[in-house]
Structure 1
Amino acid sequence: MTTTWTTHKALVVGEAGMVAAQHVTAARAGAAVLARGGNAMDAAVTTALVLSVVEPWLSGIGGGGFLLHRDGASGEVCALDFAMVSPAGIDPADYPLASRKEGNWFDWPSVVDNRNLIGVHSICVPGAVAGFAEALEAKGTISFAEALAPAIAAAEAGLEVDWFAELCLSIDADNLLTNEASARLLLRDGKAPRLPEGCASIRLPMEEKAATLRRLAGAGPRDFYEGEIAQALVADMAALGGRMSLEDLASYRARWVTPLSQDYRGARVLAMPGLTGGPALCDVLGRLSGADAFAGAAAQAPRATHYAAYADAIRAAYADRLTTVGHAGRHGTGAGIDPGCTSHLSVVDRDGTVVSLTNTLLSRFGSKVTSPKTGILMNNGMMWFDPRPGAPNAIAPGVKPLANMCPLLCETAEGGVIAVGAAGGRQIMPSLVQLLSFRLDFGMDLGRALSTPRIDASAPRIKVDRRAPADTAGRIGRAHDVDVVDDVLYPVQFAIPSAVERRPDGTLHGMVHPNHPWSAAVAAEEASS
């Protein structure tokens, strides 16, 4: 049985600051920081910390990610890598292949007992707390404790479970049962909590998580890596047979890196370098720059020929990245075998400073393992390593896996700036290519761009939104296998973007994925009213 809703999100306009995120509670918390005079980084970190509480199955302090920051006054752009790292004590032999089938295009062999996907052996060293703290120290104006305050309040109130949260919990209930702490925290009698008749939502206690956040506020972020929280995490993981050590945590540092820069249609696109979605996105934009479909008179909306050009360019980029890239190969981007679940947020403040931040646990609910002492749901970063020995991205100790995350900034030819990114695992990069093209090739504002049908070319069978021009599937089908699909809430067929833009006249725009029930763009003016 299929249930269908029609939803709509409108472009939000403001002047004093804007936050676009996948959960309205988090977006409001960030916008409130802007309303009180905080800057874009203050709001971004606050929003990300609240997201770790209100949608803990997508991102959190047990995960990691990347961000880009552009100063509104100087135009200086910098990038922060706080991705997860494999524990130094792991042994690749602990991940034996269940099948020797050699495959590319995400068709990696399975590992015995899915040890790289679920459970304590799938966990990498988290980078989120280090990243958020470093970002605030370098570019923020508020303390880490101040940024934590709204997240602490949300955790003390308990996880709100409405119809959508009930759906998210139901999808993974069986997997959550593999970990006692996760089942106790998120399930009731082995199932997702059921909403009583006539009740819009209920609350699940998050006492351990609230205590951990309070501890971070008082003791400081390094406690996560060197103090009581670190000791509790390692003890909990060791009790399950995990290899993460106190040394792994103590040695972790977030790292500032130089962003990639790619010219496209008179604009400058800035992306994360290294083992992210950034290099492949720049590759695709380079291919599209000379594509025949975009020659000649400008159109007002993409036609089938444009969608076919997107498909060709994205598939060509993936053909390279999936066989040559990783910690043991040349640097670039890669993708896992799971659509992934992630949180993205975009922020612009009144001075025009922008932040694009993506944080993830990787799969929905990450490893499905919750640390009992801390209430932290842990990532499954081992999933993003190729389990085949000798591959460029093979499982190895003390290294970072390939990642799909792709936060972006874009300086437009007219003098504006855009911050954009998305959730959706391997679907992220293809969606962002199209959103940039919609904005730069067809002159759409963010509202129209994020509402325009997309394709997903992250796998050999290319998904075409049923709302796309009628001949799109046929045109793409000349070179690729095609499925025509509906852009439904679940299963997720296309990535879930969030974007903000400062226009040349100083007006601020914010837009989110139209059919996501929790997503919202919130202006600072709204948060202060």
Structure 2
Amino acid sequence: MADSFSHQQTVTKPAVVSAGGIVAAQNRLAAQAGAAALAGGGNAVDAAVATAFAIGVVEPWMSGVGGGGLLLHRDAASGRVRAWDFGMRTPKALDPAGYPVVEGEDADLFGWPLVKDSRNLRGGTAIAVPGQVAGMAAVLQALGTLSWEAALAPAILLAERGVPLDWFSLLQIAQHSGDLAQNEASAALYLRDGHPPAQLQPAVCLPNSKLRETLQHLAKAGARDFYEGELAARIVADVQAAGGCLSAEDLRGYQAREVEPLTVSRGQAALHVLPELNGGPTLARAVTRLGESWTGGAPDGAFYLAVAEALREAFAHRLSHLGDVDGARGPSCTTHISVVDRAGNMVTLTQTLLSVFGSKVTLPSSGILMNNGINWFDPRPGRPNSLGPDKRTLSNYVPVLGVTPERSFAIGASGGRKIIPAMTQLGLMLGVGGMTLEEALHQPRIDVSGPDLVTVDPRLDPSIRSALAAVHPVQTGAAGFAPNNYATALAVLREQGRNHGAVEPLHPWAEAVSEDEVPSA
């Protein structure tokens, strides 16, 4: 493919260093909301929850109350790590026969065989039971100090103003304008006369008054209203009107789950992830398989060769074995939030709608943009991850908490299956390689998000690229945002009593914000 972009441009984002708390997020406005919670005396959980609700408003194509996610927390004083799973489930009334496979391959995240009318990708039939609200409520109740209303307050203010319209947000809207136009409420929010907004100057925003009213109602009525109250009834009615089978029973029965973290060690570094149906077990399997082929230091040819081999095997296992078979209790376009507070407590939180703009369905009575979690399932029957009723999704995100004798860090990313190799490499660079946070976030990576192919950043030394090509099928992929070949990572780290925050340099909105930057009241 012809490459018309400059090969000389270099983009960097320095790490933020502070004695105070830091929030790293894919949107500066949302990160500021979390940093304000820290500045007001809140802890890492308070900041994470405030940021999570805020980012669902200002970066709606990635996440929001219509989605789900995972969260890990580390208590600095005790070292205890706790984990919550608030991922999506399929509705109990879902019938796999309603998703017949036809000739072709879908062009979304996973390349599944094409489903008739893309019923697993778009519209009400693509919507799974959302867990975001339940997850935020559970974590805030367990570890937070903010009230529920206070945690929602920044998101309510941001919803009144709306999504800032600049070249980056316009790019997201323009790429999906055809699908957004198929839903009346989505078209009204994001399009003008059926087309992406054309005017960027003077600066404008896209407000969502219905979502603001919904968040105000949720703040007063409490989190369970989303699942068994007035809001739940409106959500069910709107989803069913859009052709989905989400029921009042599905919402009423949903609960976020606290689970025991899965820990994998490498030398003196311990990497904590979530077990079961997410990217954590695949990361753990890859790290375990590394053996002694790389023992630390700067990432070199031995590092990338070891990572590529381990990830190819881990993904082969993942794609052939993992799934919620029969719905038993056991073991994306996305956004990520990493937080460290002044005391050193940490949160790593990944949340998602799955595809960009999820199902493309905005519920008319509430302004909620809904997920397309059904797309996580293989539409072909008889496989571990085949589509079925009341099943938990096999998600790809993998928030990580890392601990060594000298440091602790919280990392995560957006980017579908590319998250797993990105977090494997960053976890090793920070936990074993001893790199600074700024060095690690600027270090070129490889992508191995399947068993067949290794994608190599052309910024890597030619000797490394040649060594990989001698062993693995290799393709070159430039680092960038569109397309995003290596996931979008965000991280915080604590070392020697100082906090550090850094984000993917090439993401135009992502930023690490310290509580010291928040104006005093």
TM-score range, shorter chain: over 0.9
Partner SS for 1:281: helix
Q: 1:380 aligns with which of 346, 349, 372?
A: 372
Per the alignment, residue 21 of structure 1 pairs with 25
Name the aligned partner's letter for residue 515 of structure 1.
Answer: L
State the 1:331 CA deviation: 9.2
State the 1:232 CA deviation: 1.1
Per the alignment, residue 415 of structure 2 pairs with 424
Name the aligned partner's letter for residue 492 of structure 1.
Answer: N
Per the alignment, residue 118 of structure 2 pairs with 114
Q: 1:247 aligns with which of 246, 249, 266?
A: 249
Per the alignment, residue 411 of structure 1 pairs with 403
Q: How many residues align structurally? A: 511
Question: Are 1:356 and 2:348 matched, yes or no?
Answer: yes
Name the aligned partner's letter for residue 210 of structure 2.
Answer: E
Q: 2:258 aligns with which of 253, 256, 259?
A: 256
Q: 1:56 aligns with which of 60, 63, 67?
A: 60
Q: Do 1:54 and 1:159's aligned partners in 2 also have CA atoms closer than 8 Å?
A: yes
Per the alignment, residue 314 of structure 1 pairs with 311
User: What is the alpha-carbon distance in structure 2 between the residues aligned to residue 434 and residue 195 of structure 1?
Assistant: 41
Per the alignment, residue 442 of structure 1 pairs with 433
State the 1:332 CA deviation: 8.8
Q: Do 2:269 and 2:432's aligned partners in 1 also have CA atoms closer than 8 Å?
A: no
Which whole-Å deviations, capped at 9, do the CAs of 1:40-79 have from their partners, x for residues lacking one? Answer: 1000000000000000000100000000011111211110
Gaps of 5+ in 1: 334-339
Partner SS for 1:450: helix
Per the alignment, residue 143 of structure 2 pairs with 139
Q: Do 1:14 and 1:509's aligned partners in 2 also have CA atoms closer than 8 Å?
A: yes
Which whole-Å deviations, capped at 9, do the CAs of 1:114-139 have from their partners, x for residues lacking one? Answer: 11111111100100001001110111
Name the aligned partner's letter for residue 325 of structure 1.
Answer: L
Name the aligned partner's letter for residue 207 of structure 1.
Answer: S
Name the aligned partner's letter for residue 312 of structure 1.
Answer: E
User: What is the alpha-carbon distance in structure 1 between the residues aligned to residue 514 and residue 32 of structure 2?
Assistant: 8
User: What is the alpha-carbon distance in structure 1 between the residues aligned to residue 219 and residue 261 of structure 2?
Assistant: 31
Q: 1:271 aligns with which of 270, 273, 282?
A: 273
Partner SS for 1:98: strand
Q: Do 1:326 and 1:332's aligned partners in 2 also have CA atoms closer than 8 Å?
A: no
Q: Do 1:419 and 1:500's aligned partners in 2 also have CA atoms closer than 8 Å?
A: yes
User: What is the alpha-carbon distance in structure 2 between the residues aligned to residue 47 and residue 68 of structure 1?
Assistant: 15
Q: 1:332 to 1:194 in 2, by over 3 A?
A: farther
Name the aligned partner's letter for residue 423 of structure 2.
Answer: L
Q: 1:396 aligns with which of 369, 388, 400?
A: 388
Per the alignment, residue 162 of structure 2 pairs with 158
Partner SS for 1:151: helix
Q: 1:331 to 1:412 in 2, by over 3 A?
A: farther
Name the aligned partner's letter for residue 15 of structure 1.
Answer: A
Identity rate of aligned residues, in percent? 48
State the 1:303 CA deviation: 1.8
Name the aligned partner's letter for residue 353 of structure 1.
Answer: N
Q: Do 2:403 and 2:431's aligned partners in 1 also have CA atoms closer than 8 Å?
A: no
State the 1:107 CA deviation: 4.8
State the 1:356 CA deviation: 0.5
Name the aligned partner's letter for residue 64 of structure 2.
Answer: G
Q: 1:100 to 1:492 in 2, by over 3 A?
A: closer
Q: Do 1:464 and 1:472's aligned partners in 2 also have CA atoms closer than 8 Å?
A: no
User: What is the alpha-carbon distance in structure 1 between the residues aligned to residue 71 and residue 474 of structure 2?
Assistant: 33
Alignment RMSD: 1.8
Per the alignment, residue 205 of structure 1 pairs with 207
Which whole-Å deviations, capped at 9, do the CAs of 1:322-360 have from their partners, x for residues lacking one? Answer: 011111189998xxxxxx310100111111111110000
State the 1:441 CA deviation: 3.3
State the 1:90 CA deviation: 0.8
Q: 1:157 to 1:218 in 2, by over 3 A?
A: same
Q: Do 2:402 and 2:431's aligned partners in 1 also have CA atoms closer than 8 Å?
A: no
Per the alignment, residue 337 of structure 1 pairs with none
Per the alignment, residue 470 of structure 2 pairs with 478
Partner SS for 1:479: coil
Q: 2:505 aligns with which of 506, 511, 514?
A: 514
Q: Do 1:341 and 1:423's aligned partners in 2 also have CA atoms closer than 8 Å?
A: yes
Partner SS for 1:498: strand
Partner SS for 1:60: coil
Question: Are 1:76 and 2:67 matched, yes or no?
Answer: no
Per the alignment, residue 69 of structure 2 pairs with 65
For normalisation by structure 2, the TM-score amounts to: 0.95
Q: Mean Cα displacement is larger for which, 114-123 or 436-445?
A: 436-445
Q: 1:227 to 1:128 in 2, by over 3 A?
A: same
User: What is the alpha-carbon distance in structure 2 between the residues aligned to residue 480 and residue 117 of structure 1?
Assistant: 32
Which whole-Å deviations, capped at 9, do the CAs of 1:458-498 have from their partners, x for residues lacking one? Answer: 03232111101112232222232211121122111111011
User: What is the alpha-carbon distance in structure 2 between the residues aligned to residue 404 and residue 332 of structure 1?
Assistant: 16
Q: 1:168 to 1:3 in 2, by over 3 A?
A: farther
Q: Do 1:175 and 1:368's aligned partners in 2 also have CA atoms closer than 8 Å?
A: yes
Per the alignment, residue 194 of structure 2 pairs with 190
Q: Do 1:274 and 1:331's aligned partners in 2 also have CA atoms closer than 8 Å?
A: no
Q: Do 1:91 and 1:396's aligned partners in 2 also have CA atoms closer than 8 Å?
A: yes
Partner SS for 2:289: helix
Per the alignment, residue 527 of structure 1 pairs with 518
Partner SS for 1:376: coil
Per the alignment, residue 87 of structure 1 pairs with 91
Gaps of 5+ in 2: none
Name the aligned partner's letter for residue 372 of structure 1.
Answer: P
Q: Do 1:130 and 1:221's aligned partners in 2 also have CA atoms closer than 8 Å?
A: yes
User: What is the alpha-carbon distance in structure 2 between the residues aligned to residue 331 and residue 106 of structure 1?
Assistant: 25
Name the aligned partner's letter for residue 55 of structure 2.
Answer: L
Partner SS for 1:65: strand
Q: Do 1:321 and 1:332's aligned partners in 2 also have CA atoms closer than 8 Å?
A: no
Q: 1:179 aligns with which of 179, 183, 188?
A: 183
State the 1:517 CA deviation: 0.7
Q: Do 1:291 and 1:309's aligned partners in 2 also have CA atoms closer than 8 Å?
A: no
Q: Do 1:431 and 1:454's aligned partners in 2 also have CA atoms closer than 8 Å?
A: yes
User: What is the alpha-carbon distance in structure 2 between the residues aligned to residue 85 and residue 522 of structure 1?
Assistant: 34
Q: Mean Cα displacement is larger for which, 122-131 or 465-474?
A: 465-474
User: What is the alpha-carbon distance in structure 2 between the residues aligned to residue 93 and residue 223 of structure 1?
Assistant: 32
Per the alignment, residue 336 of structure 1 pairs with none
Q: Do 2:266 and 2:432's aligned partners in 1 also have CA atoms closer than 8 Å?
A: no
State the 1:513 CA deviation: 0.4
Name the aligned partner's letter for residue 491 of structure 1.
Answer: P
For normalisation by structure 1, the TM-score amounts to: 0.93
User: What is the alpha-carbon distance in structure 2 between the residues aligned to residue 361 and residue 18 of structure 1?
Assistant: 25
Per the alignment, residue 227 of structure 1 pairs with 229
Question: Are 1:455 and 2:446 matched, yes or no?
Answer: yes
User: What is the alpha-carbon distance in structure 2 between the residues aligned to residue 78 and residue 484 of structure 1?
Assistant: 39
Q: Do 1:95 and 1:387's aligned partners in 2 also have CA atoms closer than 8 Å?
A: yes
